[in-house]
Amino acid sequence: MIDAPVLLTGAAVGAGIALLARGLAADTPDLTDALRTLDGTAPRRLDTTRQGHATTVIDRAATRLHLDRYSTDLDVVGETTTTLMVRKSGYAMLGLVFPPLLTTTMLLLGVAPPVLLPAVASVALAAGLFMLPDLDLRRRANTQRVALRRAVCAYIELVALERAADAGTIEALDRAATVADCPAFVRIHDALVAAQLAGQPSWTGLSTLGERVGVSELDDLADIMRLSGQDGAAAYTTLRARASSLRTQLLTADAAAANAASEHMIVPVALLGLAFMALIGYPAFARILFG
């Protein structure tokens, strides 16, 4: 007959796996909220936090934990606070049930660990895994921002070429956004379309997108095109200079990342060298010390 602790442990593990699968599954947005976001009438992250009057347990938990502070990072990676809360809950549940499961296995094998050890390990592991999705979100958001900045650099160059070909301000922005079909260009094109549907200038969509995803280069491009569209300022030279500056920043950041990776490899290589020297010198030292 199966004991009750084993059944409870199995049920907890199953619940954790179910929550983790729910967090990894693609989230289907509500059509009404998506249309409100498209025309600019919905506040930021309205579809995820419900602004304090959430209708589900997960949304209420996300609101109480103030997960909307990650709204910029979530917008970059295309996720919601609900997805983040489900992932955090799933990881915490796995961390909570793993030590009891391991303890049960040890008891079945005849090994009796201390009573307080599983409880302390469960709380510590659950707390650590609960924070793990936040770190992973920050890492993925930084990666997406770098990719978006590279796309913006190419986009600025394309806009400058369109302006050199006597295209208008709005026409240059629209044409340059349709050159590529990568996610970054698609997102820029969607921002331009959203601004046009809202009856606003196209550069307003770029400024809104830059604020949402935390990429200031889009704000700079929006300011340049706004001056060109409203005041008739020459934009070609300014755009080429901004693209060159951004390209230099990206190359400098890549070089710094490569240097940091090289420095991080010093410690493993040094430890490997010490281990190799110890392996070679061990027979001689053993003979000297132990005869």
Tens digit of pLDDT for each residue in 83-128? 888 888 888 888 888 888 888 888 887 777 777 887 888 889 888 8
In a domain, 47, yes or no: yes
Where is the domain boundary, 109, 142, 175?
Answer: 142
Q: Count the domains in the chain.
A: 2
Predicted confidence at residue 27, as pLDDT, reads 53
Dig out the tokens for 181 from the structure: 């079909």
Rg of the chain on CA atoms, in Å: 27
Same domain, residue pair 76 and 154: no
Mean pLDDT of the chain: 80
Predicted confidence at residue 251, as pLDDT, reads 93
Same domain, residue pair 137 and 12: yes
Contact 99, 122 (CB under 8 A): yes
**Domain range spanning residue 89?**
4-142
Same domain, residue pair 138 and 157: no
Where is the domain boundary, 86, 114, 142?
Answer: 142
In a domain, 266, yes or no: no
pLDDT digits (tens, 9 = 90+) for 154-210: 999 999 999 888 888 889 899 999 988 888 899 999 999 999 998 898 889 999 998
Dig out the tokens for 265 from the structure: 């490899």
Residue 188 burial class via C-beta count within 10 angstroms: exposed 0-12, middle 13-18, buried 19 and up:
buried
Q: For the chain, percent helix, then strand, then coil, each to nearest 5?
A: 80, 0, 20
In a domain, 129, yes or no: yes
Same domain, residue pair 131 and 39: yes
pTM, two decimals, is 0.68
